[in-house]
Amino acid sequence: MDIEAIRRKVDARRAIEDIFIREDFFEISPMIFQDYDDYIRLNDGLSSREVIKIIDASGDVKVLRPDITSVIGESMINMESKESIKKFYYSSSVFRNDEKRGAIEIAQIGGEILYDNDMDTVCSIVDMVVEMNSKYNGDFILEVGNAKFLDELLKSLKCDEKKKILGYLRNKNFDDLRKYSDEKGLNDIMIVLDMVMKNQGGIEAVEKLESLKIGDSFNKYIQELKILFTYLKDKDIDKYVHFDLSMVASLDYYTGIIFSGYYYGQLGEVVSGGKYSIGEYDAIGFTMYMDKIYKSIEGSD
């Protein structure tokens, strides 16, 4: 790698960190190791095969940090209670087992906010995500949904196959989902799911789901997206957002609005995040996958 390429990567990382500093975020250093049982309890979305496990001198099983958000929660709460700090950012790495490449390190930069479950904070986080990512590739799109929508929808439909269906939707495996629903006689449920999957894109598509009339909580989720859309439109950045209530979070600790960002023509997420809970606290945050950012920068030359 030449010096100029290295300099571009350093400049990109610093530019992102400068935005966090501008918005009064405090830098935090996440722990490298986490108790295996604690991690699995919080993260059903990751296969245990993806986690790098070690046994320490006392015989306890630890994991080499596969996710940052789940390991910084306690530190965030302690700093909030002692010093009233509510905004945090990190520049670090996670470690995973990949089927083809074995143990891999994934460079990340992310931010987290402890907040009062208000939409102003949600809007400001999404604004930051769009600002940080669209500057490196104008063909950036941020998919926005709600982690609770499908979970509660399937409960309301008295669906006993919820975990299997969510797995298909998480992987966007729609053909196998339809085959599975045919085998299990879930045609009535698939009619509703088809409506959710088809009505995505602009806010007008999501508004059509209000006709489902399946409960106040569902209307609340839709109203939150409408508030977010109004904010983004006023900032003239609504073109970057695609609303999709068929989204399923990749990790199971999310409890509200979730999002995933992509660059056109590039596989995989460049950013992901959403709302979650830490004990009695509500929080929202995101992670940027720097290898994807770097790849986009190099491709722009």
Instruction: Clarify whether residues 5 and 133 are in a common domain.
Output: yes
In this structure, is residue 72 part of a structural domain?
yes
More confident residue, 83 or 45: 83
Residue 54's domain comprises 1-140+259-301
Instruction: Clarify whether residues 126 and 171 are in a common domain.
Output: no
Q: What is the reported pLDDT for 103? A: 86
Instruction: Clarify whether residues 131 and 167 are in a common domain.
Output: no
How much of the chain exceeds pLDDT 90, in percent?
Answer: 36
Reported as a single tens digit per residue, the pLDDT across 221-275 is: 889 999 999 999 999 999 999 999 989 887 778 889 999 999 988 888 999 999 9
Reported as a single tens digit per residue, the pLDDT across 130-175 is: 999 998 888 999 999 998 888 888 888 788 888 888 888 888 888 8
Task: Name the most confidently modeled range: 29-43, 60-74, 226-240, 247-261.
Answer: 226-240
Q: What is the reported pLDDT for 284? A: 95
Instruction: Clarify whether residues 156 and 121 are in a common domain.
Output: no
In this structure, is residue 6 part of a structural domain?
yes
In this structure, is residue 183 part of a structural domain?
yes
Residue 59: its H or E element: none
In this structure, is residue 292 part of a structural domain?
yes
Over residues 67-85, the mean pLDDT reads: 83
More confident residue, 123 or 65: 123
Q: What SS3 state is found at 184?
A: helix
- Give dist(CA 76, CA 141) in Å, integer: 30
Over residues 89-116, the mean pLDDT reads: 89
Q: Does residue 53 carry a pLDDT above 80?
A: yes
Instruction: Clarify whether residues 4 and 95 are in a common domain.
Output: yes
Yes or no: say if 260 and 286 are a contact pair by the CB < 8 Å rule.
no
- For the ranges 29-33, 40-44, 59-63, the lowest mean pLDDT is seen at 40-44
Torsion of CA 91, 97, 101, 105, to 10 degrees: 10
Q: What is the reported pLDDT for 301? A: 46
Reported as a single tens digit per residue, the pLDDT across 172-221 is: 888 888 888 888 888 888 888 888 888 889 999 888 888 776 667 778 88
Q: What is the CATH number of the domain that holds 107?
A: 3.30.930.10
First to last CA, the chain: 14
In this structure, is residue 243 part of a structural domain?
yes
The gap from C-alpha 149 to its chain's centroid, in whole angstroms, comes to 15
Instruction: Clarify whether residues 11 and 120 are in a common domain.
Output: yes
Instruction: Clarify whether residues 286 and 164 are in a common domain.
Output: no
Instruction: Clarify whether residues 51 and 133 are in a common domain.
Output: yes
Question: Which alpha helices (DSSP H) does the chain contain, by range?
Answer: 3-22, 36-42, 69-83, 119-134, 149-156, 162-170, 174-184, 187-198, 203-207, 216-234, 290-299
In this structure, is residue 269 part of a structural domain?
yes
In this structure, is residue 253 part of a structural domain?
no
Reported as a single tens digit per residue, the pLDDT across 107-127 is: 999 999 998 889 999 999 999
Q: What is the reported pLDDT for 249? A: 83
